[in-house]
Structure 1
């Protein structure tokens, strides 16, 4: 493929640009789509459509890896049907990811894009906690310090007086938005570590694992859609409020993590932290112009603390010192290609 013939340095910059744009566009697009004037789509149906898109994308990727239809069918049969016990184990992260994605839409509808982007970085804390307790991972002292700084930064952002100075078409509840984001972070941490254990116990590719996830997530997300919005769906239709922008958001949600999984292997942890930090800054800047966001000193300082914590967490104090590395969550992130597991 052409991407393998590109200069590694160029690939790093492409990775930086891709990660930054993807991270910032998700939060901004979700915020805009859930608060703009006009008919608002049902977020539960968007989660279902994103799973369909992700499944189709992963099927294409697996077919490209296998090369022929015969090998493709055999690979699917062996991974999904023949190994059905392993497939059923994926029910746990499938259910969690459906709940998490629905919570993210609730959070985006009730928090401004900048606050949502900063708050969702708490997934670093929850993932670290589950890695320590479930996988017995060892964290560096600098990483523990970065987690404390992260919590302080998010707390300052949440307690700041900054926000959007505009009237939106939906009723908003900041407490509900923060609670939904916090719940999504907890689910993200647990499901990510569970998914990591599943990857380590088999030789299935990330794409095949995602096919398993999507096949199980589809019925769960469809049930969730009708459980939450059955009356509205029956009255107005499954695709009520859908337009080109909503379809774009669905593609962004489904394909964003897949893109990250591909490009991040050409980057390192520092670059990933840089991309995330740039995305936060970009979201704040765009929010000022697009959503009339009021940036306060406290919000800005809290955001700086979050950005510092991201860099500090990705720093390896043993690098270049000849010290034997201790297995940490950061090492396992590299094995997962570095993206959020729920987005991979």
Structure 2
């Protein structure tokens, strides 16, 4: 009974955390402030730094808070195994792209449309699981995926409104197209990266936290490269933390803890798969 309650309590917390993250992210991207709006690429970089710190602390704890043991583990599992470490560059780059795309999506879509459309990651993860891991899905599972696709299609169905001026309607359609495209690319990248990472974990004996440290290292590099490439002028002019507020820090923290609230090797594969 205690396990049953804990399972549903964890599910409730996850649902609340996911929903609140989407709402706060959307609010942070549409908030009218006096200064410049915070850079999404900067938020991704800060989140990667937080991930690295959290994972290092967890490995530090696993080794009885010994600095020498931590240093030894990092050298043996990362520095002395460059091939194993480089394998994480692919999913790390994809996750970095995905995180940036989510900010683009929420800047152009309302929270409800984004939340429903982003559930297509369940479909992409299922398809990649079948093709890359050899999983088999039952009839009810395929039926569930078809219902999910139908629900997403209905959400995107255009609605007629005579009260919206033609110019605003065109701008709204363009903005929605950008947002939906960003979500769809994020869904595909999320599905592939999650399954690819699970495949790597099954083929090695390294701990999840070491693997997350490797992901964070590459993610930080890719994030900094993207930020300097696309928004380097803004960073040089007003700094990396321009536009940061309490809301921004809340978004970054929630996003990081949500992504680490379950083992990464589970990817985005739902429990029924």
Q: TM-score, normalised by structure 2?
A: 0.88
* Cα pair distance change 1:13/1:149, threshold 3 Å: closer
Q: TM-score, normalised by structure 1?
A: 0.71
Q: Unpaired segments of 5 or more residues in structure 1?
A: 1-5, 270-313, 315-329, 331-344
Provide the residue aligned with 2:120 in structure 1: 122
Provide the residue aligned with 2:67 in structure 1: 69
Q: Is the 8 A contact 1:18 1:260 kept in 2?
A: no
Q: Is the 8 A contact 1:63 1:72 kept in 2?
A: yes
Provide the residue aligned with 2:192 in structure 1: 190
Runs of 4+ in 1 over 6 A off after TM superposition: none
Q: Unpaired segments of 5 or more residues in structure 2?
A: none
- Compute the RMSD of aligned alpha carbons: 2.4
CA displacement at 1:70 relative to structure 2: 2.3
CA displacement at 1:153 relative to structure 2: 0.4
- After superposition, residues 143-292 of structure 1 pair within 5 angstroms as 143-161=141-159, 173-261=175-263, 269=271
Say if 2:96 is the partner of 1:98. Answer: yes
| CA distance in 1 between partners of 2:17 and 2:255 (Å) | 9
Provide the residue aligned with 2:25 in structure 1: 30
CA displacement at 1:139 relative to structure 2: 0.9
Aligned length: 258
* Cα pair distance change 1:249/1:114, threshold 3 Å: same
* Cα pair distance change 1:23/1:197, threshold 3 Å: same
Say if 2:15 is the partner of 1:20. Answer: yes
* Cα pair distance change 1:249/1:162, threshold 3 Å: farther
Say if 2:37 is the partner of 1:40. Answer: yes
For 2:261, what is the secondary structure of its paired residue? helix
CA displacement at 1:162 relative to structure 2: 9.8
| CA distance in 2 between partners of 1:139 and 1:162 (Å) | 38
